[in-house]
Structure 1
Amino acid sequence: MAGKSRLTRLDAFSKTVEDARVRTTSGGIVTLASVLVVLFLVVGEIRDYRRTTVHAELVVDKSRGDQLPINLNITFPHVPCSLLTLDVMDVSGEQQVGITHGITLTRLSPHPDSAPLTAQQLDLHADEAPHLDPKYCGECYGAKPLNGKTCCNTCDDVREAYAHVGWAFGNGEGVEQCEREHYKEHLQSMREEGCNVAGHLKVNKVIGNFHLAPGKSFSTPQMHVHDLQQYFESPKEHTFTHTIHHLSFGPDLPVRSNSEANPLDATTHVAPERSYNFMYFVKVVSTSFLPLGVKPGEPGALETHQYSVTSHSRSLAGGSDKDHPDTLHARGGIPGVFFSYDISPMKVVNREVRERTFLGLLTGICAIIGGTLTVATVVDRGLYEGGMRIRKLHQG
């Protein structure tokens, strides 16, 4: 009992006798209001605890030997697919010319309301004669056959041979293989069409560029050139007006991390003339997104790239293009759309974190309950004392 008496003296929560308590209607209303306020504030506190934010930090990019993925979807309403060539080259010396793997070229009707033309219609060799003599050996017309061949049996073989020695090819007039395959007629049938280029590339993660330009491309020890004869001699004045539906370097970041990751998406640029090119200078930054609780290198971590871009466009019509439309390389440059990309040495790490700890949540809830009850006690006491004084005044 003595121990009990000592602890009793330490009791900070003294109790009142039940008979000494006075319950009032105003007290019941204040109690209900206090409970509702506590519930509302506690729910808000829990939501605030569950909310995550993305903290970005900048680190040195130590990755080596990685490849850079490129996703593109671009429409050229005034250039047919037969004239478009996609090339990639970088400072390491690697070149990818006339890329078709992973890329889809969709022919677009000159009438906007019409459905896209089928991909099969793009085959220029559909009329290749199957009844040729098995010993048939086509002439290369002064050029040398490529890839270990001794003959040029198709129109494409002649074009490749011409490109290798740097000769303009034109529309195949006078070339027996091209006339047999109706190469000129195919080109004319597609003259009024547009083209959509979509797909995926993988390039070395070094400084480089990829471009979409007219004509067959090939490289010499001195330069990279395109056969522009068909482009400039076409009765239809093609231009490189284009719409970039999508351009990214890797998967898109979650919206909560960056809602404007691809600045070139849904942009349109108009070329006022045939001899016109567009240059996009892209700065690519490696980026990681780490969801809550995920560390770098673990499953769930997203590795991608963001980029910033500046653009420049200019006319190439300084006289050379119009005066020499049959040249392989326009003297003022090549019409088309060029993307020059540079790799940043830094890396952005977007880390998803909770701003509040569980201990902070408990502290907040206790503060809400204690503060609400304290305020409610003051309000209830005021209502009770006020009611008592009013009654005394009425009785007196």
Structure 2
Amino acid sequence: MPAKSRFTRLDAFTKTVEDARVRTTSGGIVTLTSLLLILYLVWGEWSDYRRITVHPELIVDKGRGEKMEIHMNISFPRVPCELLTLDVMDVSGEVQTGVMHGVNKVRLRSEGEGGGEIESKALELGADDGGKHLDPEYCGECYGAPAPSNAMKPGCCNTCAEVRDAYAGVSWSFGRGENVEQCEREHYSEHLDAQRREGCRIEGGIRVNKVVGNFHFAPGKSFSNGNMHVHDLENYFAGGEGVEHTFTHYIHHLRFGPQLPDTSSSQQILTSAWSNHHLNPLDGTTQATLEKAYNFMYFVKVVSTAYLPLGWERTGSILDIPHELVELGGYGKGSEENGNPGSIETHQYSVTSHKRSLTGGDGGQEGHKERLHARGGIPGVFFSY
């Protein structure tokens, strides 16, 4: 028998000799059950320790002169791209008309043909070279309107688009361009008729001031008439044989600011049952109407949101960098330069909606006969933020 260690006296759990021990089946079951229970409790504590939690904190946004990005993907199956216009305006007085920078218009086949995209080859076959082969000395007439500031040749209207811009500049309705030499040369009315049954999808992003404002999709060229924002609706309401333009639309995606990255940690924030952080409530929204003169309004409440890694404090923002130096889509990405590497600055929003016929009447079709709608307005889809 080996010599006893001096620590033997300190053993508070004395053992019985092997011959006195009795092993039973129930004792083995209790032992296994205890081990499994201990492992389960340890795993639960470890998982709870590793679980990502969001600690919300409300602070006053003191930023001034900041910009915000709005990213969208919206289809209009019954309005051709030629008639669809995107405008932005806000309380600071800034107005962006006919926005094209950062936005793509994708022509869609008619709903009867499946509504798919029109192939680029088909678009090229339908293109017209317009004024590419004009005499270098040619100076097109603007038909009584002053030449637009963006004309390729100052003081001249050499293309149909420039004549339309000139008319919009003096708040004149343009129509189909009959008896306008540039439009007849470019076959504007023929191209317009060929697109009557098409739809349009607008995708991309716009940059706006972070103040109260709205962006909207409406038919026809837009211009200002006094203090009023007006659209040339003649071609929209004219339609064509068997063609009824309406603002039925599908919002595939709409977000304010950058999307959270598609990583496991972000997905846990997005999909956990206890959290609804950063959902875009308008994604997948469908609205339909059979009326031409119909207006859809979305009232959006936007809240600036910053996601900071553990242990970080907000010391700066990419929004503090002059917006001219930030590419579209670059907002919200933390870096060493702005003091927040790994952070994301974006926006959450909630929304309520309203729709009405521009001819007035009550809300009987929506089940609210007690509501009375005013007459007048511009057909389209409006987002007030």
- Name the TM tier (shorter chain): 0.7 to 0.9
- Listed as ranges, the matches of 1:351-370 within 5 Å are none
Task: Tell me the secondary structure at the aligned position of residue 82 of structure 1.
Answer: coil
- C-alpha distance in 1 between matches for 2:127 and 2:37: 78
- In the superposition, relative to structure 1, how do residues 58 and 136 fare at CA in structure 2: closer, same or farther (>3 Å)? same
User: Is residue 338 from structure 1 mapped to residue 382 from structure 2 by the alignment?
Assistant: yes
Gaps of 5+ in 2: 1-5, 261-265, 315-338, 362-374
- C-alpha distance in 2 between matches for 1:191 and 1:289: 46
Task: Tell me the secondary structure at the aligned position of residue 184 of structure 1.
Answer: helix
User: Is residue 274 from structure 1 mapped to residue 264 from structure 2 by the alignment?
Assistant: no
- C-alpha distance in 1 between matches for 2:378 and 2:162: 24
- Listed as ranges, the matches of 1:105-144 within 5 Å are 105-110=105-110, 111-113=112-114, 115-118=116-119, 121=123, 126-144=128-146
In the TM superposition, residue 156 of structure 1 has moved relative to its aligned partner by 1.1
- C-alpha distance in 2 between matches for 1:116 and 1:81: 12
Aligned with 2:249 (options 214, 229, 242): 242
Aligned with 1:256 (options 248, 268, 272): 268
Task: Tell me the secondary structure at the aligned position of residue 53 of structure 2.
Answer: strand
**AA in 2 matched with 1:85:** T
In the TM superposition, residue 199 of structure 1 has moved relative to its aligned partner by 0.5
Task: Tell me the secondary structure at the aligned position of residue 334 of structure 1.
Answer: coil
- C-alpha distance in 2 between matches for 1:14 and 1:333: 89
Q: Please, what is the CA RMSD of the aligned residues?
A: 2.7
**AA in 2 matched with 1:39:** L
In the TM superposition, residue 18 of structure 1 has moved relative to its aligned partner by 3.5
- Measured against aligned partners, the alpha-carbon deviations of 1:266-316 in whole angstroms (never above 9, x if no partner) come to 011112300111111111001122344444352111111011111111111
- C-alpha distance in 2 between matches for 1:82 and 1:314: 25
Which is richer in helix?
1
User: Is residue 301 from structure 1 mapped to residue 343 from structure 2 by the alignment?
Assistant: yes
Flag the structure with more relative contact order, 1 or 2, with Cα contacts below 8 A and sequence separation at least 6: 1
Q: What is the aligned partner in structure 2 of residue 91 from structure 1?
A: 91
Q: What is the aligned partner in structure 2 of residue 313 from structure 1?
A: 355
8 Å CA contact retained: 2:106, 2:202:
yes
In the TM superposition, residue 250 of structure 1 has moved relative to its aligned partner by 1.2
- In the superposition, relative to structure 1, how do residues 128 and 12 fare at CA in structure 2: closer, same or farther (>3 Å)? same
Task: Tell me the secondary structure at the aligned position of residue 85 of structure 1.
Answer: strand
- C-alpha distance in 1 between matches for 2:115 and 2:215: 30
- Listed as ranges, the matches of 1:1-396 within 5 Å are 11=10, 13-16=12-15, 18=17, 21-26=20-25, 27-110=27-110, 111-113=112-114, 115-118=116-119, 121=123, 126-147=128-149, 149-235=154-240, 236-253=243-260, 254-258=266-270, 261-296=279-314, 297-317=339-359, 332-341=376-385
- C-alpha distance in 1 between matches for 2:127 and 2:173: 20
In the TM superposition, residue 98 of structure 1 has moved relative to its aligned partner by 0.4
Percent identity of equivalent pairs: 58
- C-alpha distance in 2 between matches for 1:135 and 1:33: 96
- C-alpha distance in 2 between matches for 1:227 and 1:123: 28
- C-alpha distance in 1 between matches for 2:31 and 2:73: 63
* Deviating more after overlay: 62-71 vs 90-99: 62-71
Task: Tell me the secondary structure at the aligned position of residue 48 of structure 2.
Answer: helix
- C-alpha distance in 2 between matches for 1:317 and 1:18: 99
Task: Tell me the secondary structure at the aligned position of residue 174 of structure 1.
Answer: coil
**AA in 2 matched with 1:22:** R
8 Å CA contact retained: 1:124, 1:183:
no
Superposition TM-score, scaled by structure 2 size? 0.77
In the TM superposition, residue 123 of structure 1 has moved relative to its aligned partner by 10
8 Å CA contact retained: 1:279, 1:337:
yes
In the TM superposition, residue 63 of structure 1 has moved relative to its aligned partner by 2.9
Q: What is the aligned partner in structure 1 of residue 331 from structure 2?
A: none
- In the superposition, relative to structure 1, how do residues 136 and 16 fare at CA in structure 2: closer, same or farther (>3 Å)? closer
Gaps of 5+ in 1: 320-330, 342-396
- C-alpha distance in 2 between matches for 1:318 and 1:33: 73
Number of aligned residue pairs: give it.
Answer: 324
**AA in 1 matched with 2:23:** T
**AA in 2 matched with 1:237:** E
- C-alpha distance in 1 between matches for 2:251 and 2:28: 66
Q: What is the aligned partner in structure 1 of residue 326 from structure 2?
A: none
- In the superposition, relative to structure 1, how do residues 313 and 30 fare at CA in structure 2: closer, same or farther (>3 Å)? closer
Which of 1 and 2 has greater Rg? Answer: 1
- C-alpha distance in 2 between matches for 1:122 and 1:256: 46
- C-alpha distance in 2 between matches for 1:168 and 1:310: 34
Task: Tell me the secondary structure at the aligned position of residue 52 of structure 1.
Answer: coil
**AA in 2 matched with 1:25:** T
8 Å CA contact retained: 1:54, 1:256:
no
**AA in 1 matched with 2:357:** S
Q: What is the aligned partner in structure 2 of residue 385 from structure 1?
A: none
**AA in 2 matched with 1:50:** R
